[in-house]
Amino acid sequence: MKGETVTFARAIGIDYSGAETANSSLKGLRVYMADVGEAPREVAPPPSPKRYWTRRGIAEWLIERLAEDIPTVVGIDHAFSFPLRYFEVHGLQPDWPKFLDDFQRHWPTDADHTYVDFVRFGTAGNGAAREGSPRWRRMTEERSLGAKSVFHFDVQGSVAKSTHAGIPWLRFIRRALGDRVHFWPFDGWDAPLGKSVVLEVYPRLWSAGYPVEDRTPDQHDAYSVAAWLSTAAANGRLLKAMTPELSPPEMAVAQVEGWILGVPWAPTKKAKPTAKPSAKMGRGGSGGKTTKAGYVNKNGQEVVQATDLPGNDHNQVVYVLRCGSCGHRYGANGSDIWQRKCPACGGGAAGLAF
């Protein structure tokens, strides 16, 4: 690809959603398509009783489009892989195709009647054996302002659910099309001429550059991705965005973790914090409110979520905690989180029911 003009005839932008099941009709799933150099148009799902796209429907539609003899660049708004730390903790080879197979076995979110949360909370799959910490971030996320960890659930702007719902469908597409499609950068930084390419995008990088007009936020995100890819494929910017200015070690890491198209190759300078620690900071661990999802105390116990159940301490509710060592989940009063130890492996007090 280097030194040559990458020729695509078509660009597709997809704004993704990890809500509900793979067969659910979701307003947040949007698809726009454009001939290269032209303005995108929205693609409606095939005629059916369902008004909006489903994740299964998008995957099957993409297989049909990418099987056509039309070189296409596809941008999808969710992460394609996990931080290298995830591979290390779970003893996995730094091999993306093997990661896809392993992930789908533990997180079968492409199955019928399966929500991401069903796997998260143990009613489907085996997500407890393949979890990660919201403190783990990919190199591309470290260099992208505003990008969150793929394990940071239940917060505004989170990509965690869409990522955990979408990765099995990447496997589905790859298994259906084989080497007819190039997944960037896992199959290499240089995409063969004439081959379609599927890559990860972050609409926020481009959406402010296009007037919203009468589009919803989800429509506008998908539109912006398709519009940028269409223009960039025509004027050469896409080639530059796909050609890394990384050191060889950084390139090796990114071919395992993936890369968000358009994120700067060089590290982004972070502003120095100016706020002083407040009285609401935890008394140990990683800092922040001790009841906030993602907080980890000094004993490695992480807050997963709050519940509406009453605790057994005055005016307290039950929070779900997860042990960072063994993965055990248990309930605790909010007032106890800062000092809790795991009941299963750390000698802590028995957890509350949740």
Q: 228: domain CATH number? A: 3.30.420
Q: Residue 203's pLDDT is what?
A: 97
Q: Residue 287's pLDDT is what?
A: 39
* Beta-carbon count within 10 A of 278 CB: 8
Type of residue numbered 344: A
- Please indicate, yes or no, whether residues 177 and 202 belong to a single structural domain of this protein: yes
Of 261, 260, 257, the closest CA to residue 99 belongs to: 257
- Please indicate, yes or no, whether residues 77 and 186 belong to a single structural domain of this protein: yes
Query: Token pair for residue 315?
Result: 């005016």
pLDDT at 49 over 60: yes
pLDDT at 16 over 70: yes
Average pLDDT for residues 291-311, to the nearest whole number? 87
- Please indicate, yes or no, whether residues 209 and 336 belong to a single structural domain of this protein: no
- Please indicate, yes or no, whether residues 191 and 322 belong to a single structural domain of this protein: no
- Please indicate, yes or no, whether residues 224 and 307 belong to a single structural domain of this protein: no
Task: Single out the residue in 257, 289, 322 at which a domain terminates.
Answer: 257
pLDDT at 342 over 70: yes
Report d(CA 319, CA 326) in Å as an integer. Answer: 18
- Please indicate, yes or no, whether residues 184 and 250 belong to a single structural domain of this protein: yes
Q: Report the DSSP beta bridge partners of residue 329.
A: 322
Q: Tell me the residue range of the domain where 249 lies.
A: 10-81+139-257
Q: Report the DSSP beta bridge partners of residue 12.
A: 33, 74
- Please indicate, yes or no, whether residues 37 and 149 belong to a single structural domain of this protein: yes
pLDDT at 340 over 50: yes
The number of angstroms, rounded, from the C-alpha of 89 to the middle of its chain's C-alpha atoms is 19
Domain-embedded: residue 106: no
Report d(CA 198, CA 74) in Å as an integer. Answer: 5
Torsional class of 298: left (φ above 0), alpha (ψ -120 to 50), beta (otherwise): alpha
Cβ-based neighbours of 107, under 8 Å, separated by 6 or more: 116, 119, 125, 127, 130, 164, 167, 168
Type of residue numbered 303: V
Of 77, 87, 82, the closest CA to residue 32 belongs to: 77
Of 161, 147, 119, 176, the closest CA to residue 16 belongs to: 161
What's the structural domain count of the chain?
A: 2
Domain-embedded: residue 40: yes
Report d(CA 244, CA 254) in Å as an integer. Answer: 10
What is the model's pTM? 0.76
**DSSP label at residue 338:** G
- Please indicate, yes or no, whether residues 145 and 69 belong to a single structural domain of this protein: yes
Span of 104-113, 183-192, 237-246, 309-318 with lowest mean pLDDT: 309-318
* Burial group, residue 5, by CB count within 10 angstroms (0-12, 13-18, 19+): exposed
Q: Residue 286's pLDDT is what?
A: 39
**Burial 131-147, CB ≥16 within 10 A → b, else e:** bbbbebbbbbbebbeeb
Domain-embedded: residue 214: yes
Report d(CA 178, CA 113) in Å as an integer. Answer: 27
Query: Token pair for residue 81?
Result: 């892989």
Q: Residue 276's pLDDT is what?
A: 38
- Please indicate, yes or no, whether residues 55 and 202 belong to a single structural domain of this protein: yes
- Please indicate, yes or no, whether residues 45 and 174 belong to a single structural domain of this protein: yes
Q: How confident is the model at residue 5 (pLDDT cuts 50, 70, 90)?
A: low
The number of angstroms, rounded, from the C-alpha of 139 to the middle of its chain's C-alpha atoms is 14
